[in-house]
Amino acid sequence: MIALDRDPSAPGFRYADRRAIVSTEDESGIERLASAERVDGLIAPGIDWPVAIAARIAERLGLPHPISPETAALSTSKLRQRERFAEAGVPQPAYEIGSGAAEATAAAERIGFPCVIKAPDRQGQRGLTLVRAAQDVAEAVRVALDASRTATLLVEEHVPGLEVTVNAFSAGGHFYPLTVTDRLTAPLPAFGVALTHAWPSELEPMAIGTVVEAAAAAAAAVGIENGPSYTQVLVGPEGPRVGELAARLGGGHDAELCRVALGVDLNGAALSAALGEEVPATSLAPVARVGGACVRFLVAPPGALREVTGIEEAFAQEGIRGIRIYRRPGHRFEEFRRGADRAGAILAVGKSREQALERASRAEETIRFETDVEALV
Ligand SMILES: Nc1ncnc2c1ncn2[C@@H]1O[C@H](COP(=O)(O)OP(=O)(O)O)[C@@H](O)[C@H]1O
Ligand SMILES: [Mg+2]
């Protein structure tokens, strides 16, 4: 296995046979490497933009791949998938597309407030703003245009209510829903940043059914017949609205949560699909292993990281199945605004969702991020 990353200290390198210091967005560099090494398949787990790169390179090199370049393109553009969902009748928030600041501003006025302005081709809350009033539009448009790879912006109705994630796997055109988790987000101003994924969802079984139907419709609309999908569904007063879909595993340790909750190895299934191997239905059959499970993300105070303490003590606590610390000493934490500002994560299980959440909180309190705030000059 060859892992690639532009960062020489990327944590994934330790799991690979070989490492290549190549950006995951360097399409021609990856293609040269894949071709020279005669790889059997490509996978971009848990990261969006390279999903389309992997699909295109696989097609050009004649390698098996779970999704077509067209499906991958739809899955990596918030804008193109909105258009596709509209054609296919997939429930989603009202939206408008604006090219440039003037159009985006006019679109926000039409959608009304609160609305959400976002860069259609960025992830992880980059270029994303909740706009509560007309006077905040200009700044939100500036933030989105700054982040966007093009001059096009998406303006959406803000759907209030609960947000859930449907982690699923498709095999031979059949959609297997697995963990449906509640996405509990950080308080403003860190809009839309997940702090906890909790399983099972608090929604009633009937509502979970409609959420899964919406996710299945979204996957069908973009053409996912094989491989993982990760669908965020906003459950508003008028029912489920698909926030976005990705043709990959969730980036918030969703596969690990699924494994401890339901005994299904999504990482293994995604790798099999990337190699063109058949994924048998039996390997996707969920069997509840615990009553509840959660991923809790850790937040560090701003400043330069000196050290992290209490990890072993936290890991020894009951029900703690995993702890990840994302950053090394010297890393500078910014004010908490988006996904990349998170400092780590805890995977906890329990007899119930509540117990898993309590255990995660206890472990979270045990772990301390010591940071130095530089004196202001
Ligand atoms: N139209 C919307 N209504 C309500 N919440 C939204 C909306 N759009 C985005 N959000 C919130 O912001 C988060 C991130 O937005 P999303 O479009 O999924 O972009 P990304 O995950 O790439 O940053 C969502 O998970 C959700 O919490
Ligand atoms: Mg998202």
For the chain, what are the domain ranges?
2-76, 94-157, 162-372
Ligand 1 interacting residues, C-beta cut-off 6 A: 78, 93, 116, 118, 123-125, 128, 156, 158-159, 163, 185, 191-192, 232, 234, 243-244
CB 203 within 8 A of CB 234: no
Burial string for 51-77 (b: 16+ CB within 10 Å, else e) reads bbbbbbbbeeeebebbbbbebbbbbbb
CB 254 within 8 A of CB 197: yes
pLDDT tens profile 38-88: 999 999 987 889 999 999 999 999 999 999 999 999 999 999 999 999 999
Report the relative pairing of strands 320-325 and 303-309 from DSSP bridges.
Answer: unpaired
Q: What does the DSSP 8-state code read for residue 138? A: H
For residue 157, the ligand 1 atom closest to its alpha carbon is: 1
The CATH class of the 162-372 domain is alpha beta
Overall average pLDDT of the 190-219 stretch? 97
Q: Whose CA is nearest to atom 23 of ligand 1?
A: 125
Q: Whose CA is nearest to atom 7 of ligand 1?
A: 158
Q: Who's near 68: CB < 8 A, 6+ residues apart? A: 55, 59, 223
CATH of domain 94-157: 3.30.1490.20
pLDDT tens profile 169-198: 999 999 999 999 999 999 999 999 999 999
pLDDT tens profile 98-153: 887 788 889 999 999 999 999 988 888 889 999 999 889 999 999 999 998 888 89
∠ Cα 194 86 73 (to 5°): 65
For the CA of 243, the nearest ligand: 1
Q: Whose CA is nearest to atom 2 of ligand 1?
A: 158
Q: Whose CA is nearest to atom 25 of ligand 1?
A: 192
Nearest to 245 by CA among 26, 88, 42: 88
CA of 98 to the centre of ligand 1 (A): 18
CA of 69 to the centre of ligand 1 (A): 24
∠ Cα 370 374 377 (to 5°): 170
For residue 244, the ligand 1 atom closest to its alpha carbon is: 18
Neighbours of 307 (CB within 10 A): 10
